[in-house]
């Protein structure tokens, strides 16, 4: 191209550059126009996804996040601006920066630029937020940057690394942020902030471990030539069964579980400081109380997020108790001891959370223990990136079973796994927003009792609350506005996931967002392998079985994490046959059978039943085991030979869970930490089950009334009719009538009490069926009495109706009496099966003695009646000389003497010719 031709092009370029320069200057001026917040620093408060970092405002349109840790969100996750941190405020907000937060950030320092048109006054809250799932990862609140803001409200940066410590306000605003960090193991870290001015150190323990694990950290006894755990001052932290954090001082006298001696009351092992106070020969109660008072460990904060436990506490450097606590020198290297292991929850014998140190000589899964060197004055940054747990779904899990309804209720959001927390969430089987697992081809039954304002539906949308109202597409698989109910009138929703159902869907409320959680849809499992299943007491264990000929296939699955799972056949663990499944430290599953005759480890005796096809495994910390055994053991002379299962008789099943089990001699550490409160009666043939409940007072009144009616009043009425007819007047008739009607009235009241308590009629039990027959016979009697035909006059032969009536009256009355007696005994038997009462045998013996007494009394009366009839036989021909023209109900038509009298009285009244012969002939 010729130089002359280039001249116009150069001029055009210069003009464009001149025009662009003012625009750029204007943009830069706009970016720096609002720099009131420049230099402001604040720590991010974690909500989930292990978010950590420090936000620093650089200028009017950019900010830096130093030390950014974050597990990845979805592609829509962004830095977000909002008016607050609740769900409504976040949904009204929008993105603050264009950079996605869809990858793992590992302690990175990055600069982010606000979107065009945004400035800091428009961002009261800067959050890491995923709008696709409405999930809040974390946030920081920014002070007002208005130029007209009063001087009394200036931005106040949070403490930096140069500060001597973290203030209480800063700890409350960002409790997961501490200055220094050291990696003790790939899944266990300790964070700390030193505050020498206040003679304290803030420590945060962080571990990718289950909620049933403890975290221990402390200082070894100084001056030892070799590191030793004996004499170490530890803090054991973790979470209670209710999900609440704790951090307590422990002192180590022996590398073993904490044991309390019964002989002298002393303690040894890894025990809380509070146990040692006043023990081990210390008779100075004032000194012991003083040590309790100066327990320096103070819990600050704790949470579980994404399968990671975090507990923050504060402890003094120079403790007041120089016997149980170790003084910490913050300026030199000191030996620290740390451990992770299974936590033993409190029980009736040991009301403390205790670490389980060992497991039969082998380490428990996930257990770790080591020594290290630590200098608190070194601001170590040895932790790179967030902890990433293998199992991030940390909340309760429920597996839906065939024919077993899932009860859906509503409750407060205490540990909702998907922040921001709503005001209320859905509970399934008493568990808060659990992870639900269903199997394709197995019907899922929901019993919806969450209220009229929380109808249930199954959706593809993770937020719920009717996604179409938010202009978001969703697929509804089941439920809707009609799937609502209350406890008094629940609604049943049945959903059948099929092969086209995605692997992940959600159960939600139709009207409110984020009340539910995930449903994992998998292919068939135990529900397909076994014909029957029931939930045992408290819905913590599912029991499966299939009857095959002369054997039974059994499986049990725990619904929460534990070290072992046990089921027992019996009313209580004592005097029961138990089957225990556990996984050892090498990952191998075991199933053993035991006979238990006491409450200590020495009372658990291993048996040698013919148990085959034994399998045991752990799924996300929950134990599942299976086995096959004969219904009737083919042996004799051994205790296990009495473990006979009769499919026609209800089988009582109980369960227990604990932290660990072993094949060797059992001790305190093998005791269960959670157990069923009552057995469940399982009808093996029908697949039905019911709880063995405590005897209800109303049912006790029912039984007493039935005893009064069928063992006192009604038998007394029958005996009055049979043995008092010789008395003058109508005494026998009045006694018979009053006793019978009183007995029927008491019986009706007893029936009403039972029906009211059980909320309806049920004829499933033998006692109920026999009682119905007895009730029918009893109610026929007053109707029969009302229809009684009158006897004939002038001693004429009784009519056929009268004789038929007497036969019917006697038959129904005696049948009712016999059925009533049988109903009393079957009622006691039902009481024993249903409620497991220990007094059933005694009550049955007393009832037998009562009826034997009545039988002896009846025999005596019968003897006296026969004697009276025999004594009056000689004067029978003259009995009717005077005649009797009135109806005579004092004589029974069915008695033999009455028949003879009738024949004599009905002989021909005409005079007969009699030939007299002289006496002298």
Q: Is residue 560 over pLDDT 50?
A: yes
Q: What are phi and psi of 9, to 5 degrees?
A: -65, -40
Q: Is residue 670 over pLDDT 90?
A: no
Please state, as a whole number, how many other Cβ atoms lie within 10 Å of the Cβ of residue 161.
Answer: 10
Q: Residues with Cβ < 8 Å from 608, sequence gap 6 or more?
A: 593, 638, 640
Q: Which range in 322-326, 475-479, 755-759 is most confidently predicted, on average pLDDT?
A: 475-479
User: Token pair 């009893």 is at which residue?
Assistant: 778
Evaluate if pTM is beyond 0.75.
no
Q: Is residue 850 over pLDDT 70?
A: yes
Over residues 227-253, the mean pLDDT reads: 90
Q: 336: closest CA among 205, 144, 210?
A: 205
Buried b (16+ CB within 10 A) or exposed e, 627-656: bbbbbebeeeeeebeebebeeeebbbbbbb
Q: What percent of the chain has pLDDT over 90?
A: 39
Q: Residues with Cβ < 8 Å from 428, sequence gap 6 or more?
A: 398, 406, 407, 408, 409, 434, 436, 507
Q: Between 89 and 527, whose confidence is greater?
A: 89
Can you read off the two tokens belonging to residue 744? Answer: 């029927």
pLDDT digits (tens, 9 = 90+) for 3-27: 444 444 544 554 545 444 443 443 4
User: Token pair 């006697």 is at which residue?
Assistant: 810
Distance of CA 273 to the CA centre of its chain: 32
Q: Is residue 728 over pLDDT 80?
A: no
What's the pLDDT at 920? 47
Over residues 755-784, the mean pLDDT reads: 78
Q: What percent of the chain has pLDDT over 70?
A: 79
Over residues 353-375, the mean pLDDT reads: 74
pLDDT band at residue 447 using 50, 70 and 90 as cut-offs: very high
The rounded distance, in Å, linking the Cα atoms of 835 and 825 is 15
Helix (H, G, I), strand (E, B) or coil at 205: strand
Please state, as a whole number, how many other Cβ atoms lie within 10 Å of the Cβ of residue 735.
Answer: 17
What's the pLDDT at 652? 92
The rounded distance, in Å, linking the Cα atoms of 284 and 296 is 21
Q: Which of 165-174, 259-268, 703-712 has the lowest mean pLDDT?
A: 165-174
pLDDT digits (tens, 9 = 90+) for 623-636: 999 999 999 998 88
Q: Residues with Cβ < 8 Å from 547, sequence gap 6 or more?
A: 531, 647, 684, 685
The rounded distance, in Å, linking the Cα atoms of 709 and 707 is 5
**pLDDT, averaged across the chain:** 81
Q: Which of 35-44, 717-726, 810-819, 896-905 has the lowest mean pLDDT?
A: 896-905
What's the pLDDT at 141? 94
The rounded distance, in Å, linking the Cα atoms of 770 and 774 is 6
Please state, as a whole number, how many other Cβ atoms lie within 10 Å of the Cβ of residue 196.
Answer: 14
Q: Is residue 527 over pLDDT 90?
A: no
- Pair 544, 682: CB distance under 8 Å: no
What's the pLDDT at 190? 95
Can you read off the two tokens belonging to residue 804? Answer: 């038929």
Distance of CA 142 to the CA centre of its chain: 42
- Pair 710, 820: CB distance under 8 Å: yes
Q: What are phi and psi of 110, to 5 degrees?
A: -130, 150
User: What would you report as the CA-atom Rg of the chain, rounded to the nearest whole angstrom?
Assistant: 42
What's the pLDDT at 221? 87
Helix (H, G, I), strand (E, B) or coil at 77: coil
- Pair 342, 364: CB distance under 8 Å: yes
| 147-156, long-range: CB < 8 A, 24+ apart | 147/34, 147/36, 149/36, 155/36, 155/37, 155/40
Q: Is residue 877 over pLDDT 60?
A: no
pLDDT digits (tens, 9 = 90+) for 413-426: 888 888 887 889 99
User: Token pair 């009607």 is at which residue?
Assistant: 741
Buried b (16+ CB within 10 A) or exposed e, 572-598: bbeebbbbbbbbbbeeebbbbbbbbee
What's the pLDDT at 921? 44
- Pair 302, 245: CB distance under 8 Å: yes
Q: 175: closest CA among 296, 52, 81?
A: 52
The rounded distance, in Å, linking the Cα atoms of 73 and 136 is 10
pLDDT band at residue 155 using 50, 70 and 90 as cut-offs: very low
What's the pLDDT at 49? 95
What's the pLDDT at 840? 74
Q: Is residue 665 over pLDDT 80?
A: no
Over residues 569-591, the mean pLDDT reads: 89
Over residues 104-122, the mean pLDDT reads: 94
């Amino acid at each position: 191209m010729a130089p002359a031709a280039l001249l116009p092009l150069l001029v055009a370029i210069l003009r464009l550059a001149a025009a662009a320069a003012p625009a750029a200057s204007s943009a830069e001026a706009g970016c720096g126009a609002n720099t009131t917040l420049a230099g402001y620093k604040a720590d991010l408060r974690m909500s989930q996804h292990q978010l950590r970092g420090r936000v620093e405002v650089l200028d009017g349109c950019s900010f830096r996040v130093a030390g950014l840790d974050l597990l990845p969100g979805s592609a829509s996750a962004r830095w977000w601006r909002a008016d607050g941190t609740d769900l409504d405020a976040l949904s009204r907000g929008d993105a603050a920066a264009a950079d996605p937060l869809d990858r793992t950030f590992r302690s990175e320092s990055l600069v982010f630029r606000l979107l065009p048109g945004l400035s800091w006054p428009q961002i009261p809250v800067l959050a890491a937020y995923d709008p696709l799932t409405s999930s809040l990862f974390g946030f920081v609140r920014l002070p007002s940057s208005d130029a007209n803001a009063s001087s009394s409200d200036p931005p106040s940066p949070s403490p930096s690394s140069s500060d001597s410590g973290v203030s209480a306000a800063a700890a409350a605003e960002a409790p997961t942020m501490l200055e220094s960090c050291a990696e003790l193991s790939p899944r266990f870290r300790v964070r700390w902030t030193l505050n020498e001015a206040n003679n304290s150190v803030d420590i945060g323990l962080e571990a990718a471990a289950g909620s049933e694990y403890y975290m221990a950290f402390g200082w070894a006894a100084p001056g030892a030539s070799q590191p030793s755990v004996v004499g170490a001052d530890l803090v054991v932290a973790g979470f209670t069964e209710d999900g609440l954090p704790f951090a307590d001082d422990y002192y180590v006298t022996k590398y073993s579980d904490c044991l309390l001696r019964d002989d002298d009351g002393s303690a040894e092992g890894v025990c809380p400081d509070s146990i040692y106070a006043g023990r081990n020969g210390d008779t100075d109660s004032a000194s012991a109380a003083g040590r309790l008072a100066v327990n320096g460990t103070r819990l600050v904060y704790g949470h579980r997020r994404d399968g990671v436990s975090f507990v923050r506490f504060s402890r003094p450097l120079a403790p007041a108790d120089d016997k149980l606590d170790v003084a910490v020198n913050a300026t030199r290297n000191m030996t620290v001891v740390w451990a992770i292991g299974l936590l033993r929850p409190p029980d009736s014998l040991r009301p403390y959370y205790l670490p389980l140190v060992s497991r039969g000589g082998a380490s428990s899964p996930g257990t770790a223990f080591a020594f290290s060197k630590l200098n608190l004055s070194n601001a170590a940054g040895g932790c790179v990136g967030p902890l990433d747990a293998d199992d991030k779904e940390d909340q309760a899990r429920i597996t839906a079973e065939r024919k077993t309804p899932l009860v859906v209720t509503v409750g407060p959001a205490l540990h909702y796994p998907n922040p921001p927390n709503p005001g209320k969430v859905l509970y399934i089987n008493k568990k808060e927003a659990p992870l639900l697992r269903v199997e394709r081809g197995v019907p899922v039954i929901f019993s919806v009792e969450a209220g009229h304002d929380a109808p249930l539906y199954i959706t593809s949308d993770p937020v719920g609350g009717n996604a179409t109202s938010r202009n978001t597409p969703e697929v509804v698989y089941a439920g809707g506005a009609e799937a609502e109910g209350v406890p008094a009138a629940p609604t049943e929703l049945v959903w059948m996931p099929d092969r086209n159902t995605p692997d992940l869907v959600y159960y939600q409320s139709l009207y409110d967002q984020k009340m539910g959680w995930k449903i994992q849809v998998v292919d068939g499992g135990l529900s397909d392998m076994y014909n029957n299943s029931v939930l045992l007491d408290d819905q913590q264990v599912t029991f499966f079985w299939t009857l095959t000929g002369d054997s039974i296939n059994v499986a049990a699955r725990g619904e929460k994490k534990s070290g072992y799972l046990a089921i027992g056949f019996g009313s209580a663990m004592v005097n029961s046959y138990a089957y225990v499944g556990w996984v050892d430290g090498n990952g191998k599953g075991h199933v053993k059978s035991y006979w238990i005759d006491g409450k200590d480890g020495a009372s658990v005796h291993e048996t040698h039943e013919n148990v085959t096809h034994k399998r045991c495994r752990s799924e996300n910390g929950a134990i599942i085991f299976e086995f096959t055994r004969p219904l009737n053991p083919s042996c004799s002379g051994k205790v296990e030979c009495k473990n006979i299962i009769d499919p026609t008789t209800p089988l009582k099943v109980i369960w227990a869970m604990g932290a660990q089990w072993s094949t060797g001699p059992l001790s305190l550490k093998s005791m269960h930490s959670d157990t069923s409160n009552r057995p469940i009666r399982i009808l093996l043939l029908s697949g039905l089950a019911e709880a063995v409940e405590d005897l209800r007072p109303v049912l006790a009144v029912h039984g007493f009334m039935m005893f009064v009616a069928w063992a006192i009043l009604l038998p007394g009425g029958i005996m009055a009719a049979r043995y008092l007819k010789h008395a003058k007047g109508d005494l026998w008739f009045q006694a018979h009538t009053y006793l019978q009607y009183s007995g029927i009235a008491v019986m009706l009241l007893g029936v009403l009490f039972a029906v009211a308590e059980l909320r309806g009629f049920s004829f499933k039990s033998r006692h109920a069926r026999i009682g119905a027959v007895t009730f029918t016979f009893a109610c026929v009697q007053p109707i029969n009495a009302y229809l009684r035909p009158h006897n004939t006059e002038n001693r004429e032969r009784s009519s056929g109706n009268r004789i038929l009536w007497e036969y019917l009256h006697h038959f129904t009355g005696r049948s009712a009496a016999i059925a009533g007696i049988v109903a009393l005994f079957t009622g006691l038997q039902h009481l024993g099966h249903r409620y497991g009462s220990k007094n059933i045998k005694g009550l049955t013996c007393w009832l037998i003695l009562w009826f034997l007494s009545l039988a002896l009394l009846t025999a005596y009366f019968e003897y006296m009646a026969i004697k009276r009839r025999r004594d009056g036989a000689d004067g029978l021909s003259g009995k009717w000389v005077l005649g009797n023209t009135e109806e005579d109900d004092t004589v029974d038509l069915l008695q033999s003497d009455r028949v003879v009298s009738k024949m004599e009285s009905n002989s021909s009244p005409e005079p007969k010719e009699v030939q007299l012969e002289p006496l002298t002939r």
